[in-house]
Amino acid sequence: MDVNSSDTAGRKAESRDILETGIQYLKGVGPKRAELLGRELNIFTFRDLLYFFPYKYIDRSKFYTVKEIDTSLAFIQIKGQITGLRTEGAKYRLRLVARFTDDTGTMELVWFQGISWVAKNIEAGKDYIVFGRPSIYNNRITIAHPEVDPVEKTDLVFSGKLQPQYSSTEKLKNSFITSKTFQKLVAGLFQHTGKMEETLPGYLIRRLNFQDINEALYALHFPSGQDQLKKATYRLKFEELFYIQLNILRQKNRQQQTIKGHIFARVGDYVNDFYHKKLTFELTEAQKRVIREIRKDLGSGHQMNRLLQGDVGSGKTLVAVMVMLIALDNGYQACLMAPTEILANQHFATISNFLEGLSVNVKLLTGSTKKAERTALFAELSGGDLQILIGTHALLEDPVQFKNLGLVVIDEQHRFGVAQRARLRQKNDDPPHVLVMTATPIPRTLAMTLYGDLDVSVIDEMPPGRKPIKTLHYTESKRLVMFGFLREQIRLGRQVYVVYPLIKESEKLDTIALEAGYEAMVRAFPPPQYLVVCVHGQLKTDDKDLSMKYFQQGKAHIMVATTVIEVGVDIPNASVMVIESA
């Protein structure tokens, strides 16, 4: 028996056991605080606290003097002496005021809560380090509820470093559990647990020059500088994504081994008729390459799960149509699910136009489809007469039953939940092939993490004749210049999108909202010379459809919208997109 191996395994097990210890057993916590931490922040064990990371860091490397303090500073740190203490006011207006002095001047520190506790822990004539947000009160520089620590205990203040700030709640603050409390608890935790088990393979740590897990965790809670913090953050982010990807790849491997796929062995009349009679242009080399990759999947005997990525206008829909026709040639049905009615309607119009005259039965199913139409559609679908069904979430409804579903195309997968995609795949006894499309540019390494269960194909080439897209960044001072450019585009017969991040104003975000933006655009482009329409997710379907109809028909010059339009709405005449608060 290898004694060293046995000792190592024992230490690893001991490390794991310690981290699963209830948080109430950590010095400084106890049953009451433990109950509060569990209820407010889901911190139940040593491990939970260890991985409860700061949300930001405050630079405490600089010390100010009283003379240097400016209320425009977010936070200041100052060293000096408390030279006097007094209470002012009465009852709910009672406050504790400390006079704080250094070599350059005097300021005041004020407490409105916890007065008796603070008064017991500070005393006049003693030197302190003070940290907080400066303000002006009664014409004096003041800091309300500052952090105050005796100079001789600077090891607990973490001055001269980046000070971590932890998320909190009102109940925790009322119980005096602050960022400083978390610093002390985590410091005690590191002393209590000792060295922890490494969570990444040794060869990976050496190859990527990572800190070990103990160094990285300590640096996230107590960074000595920005460089150390960046290294620790990168290591922990890598580890999180690494294990997510491993799990996804394991699921993919299991799926490939256990789930058989329909074999689409032939390319028949549907594909050939479409290619020779309807295609009036040559496919790009990227489209040809992607189709070859998909055909290889379809003939493998395994279920295809492939992500098709390409910019707007690169020809993803055309590739999807050809793959659907391969399914039809092999005796199967196909469906396409889009995240919005606007996009589903657009796909239906585009695909119907592609397949016109080819005797392919294509139907549309959305939340707006009337009951009588649904009943007829369901009968055609279950009987096998309906070959291609295009729709929204309505495709997930229980009455939607296919006779022989062989291919599922999902547009903008990130708009659907995992459960929704699974329900669509389960519409057949034997799982259909799955092709996912997205126009969202995703770096290949990130795509491998987010979509690790999918093989990735990229259409990285635009059809001939497409003009390059120009991107310009304007500040608010250039708004009138931008308006002039839009008027010129409209004069040339073009149309404009104006996209806002929010419908209504937010107190938390400093951005222009759609409601205010729409009014501003109507003032800048007044009727009857201009027509400005509005589309967002809170509009009634009829109002939204009317605005879309006006814009699609060219009657509206400007569409003001939220990101509801991001998922592939196609208006060929629109030449400009303005993105507010980008």
Provide mean pLDDT across the span 91-106: 90
The pLDDT value given to residue 508:
44
Domain ranges of the chain: 63-140, 213-258, 269-459, 476-579
558 beta partners: 496, 532
Amino acid making up residue 541: T
Among 212-216, 341-345, 494-498, which stretch is predicted with the lowest mean pLDDT? Answer: 341-345
Per residue in 316-347, pLDDT (tens digit) is 999 999 999 999 999 999 999 988 887 888 89
Residues 6+ apart with CB under 8 A from 357: 277, 278
| CATH topology match: 63-140 vs 269-459 | no
Chain mean pLDDT for the chain: 84
Q: What is the DSSP string of 413-460?
A: GGGS-HHHHHHHHTTSSSPPEEEEEE-S---HHHHHHHTTTSEEEEE-
What pLDDT, in 10s, does the model give residues 23-34? 999 999 999 999
Q: Which CATH architecture has domain 269-459?
A: 3-Layer(aba) Sandwich (3.40)
User: If DSSP codes are grouped into helix, strand and coil, which group holds residue 308?
Assistant: strand
Q: Say what the pLDDT of residue 567 is.
A: 47
So what's the architecture of 63-140 in CATH?
Beta Barrel (2.40)
* Banded model confidence at residue 550, pLDDT cuts 50, 70, 90: confident
Residue 507 has pLDDT above 50, yes or no: no
pLDDT tens sequence across 394-426: 887 778 889 999 999 998 765 555 566 666 666
Contacts for 436 with CB less than 8 Å, ≥ 6 apart: 305, 306, 307, 308, 409, 410, 413, 451, 454
Is CATH 2.40.30.30 correct for 476-579?
no
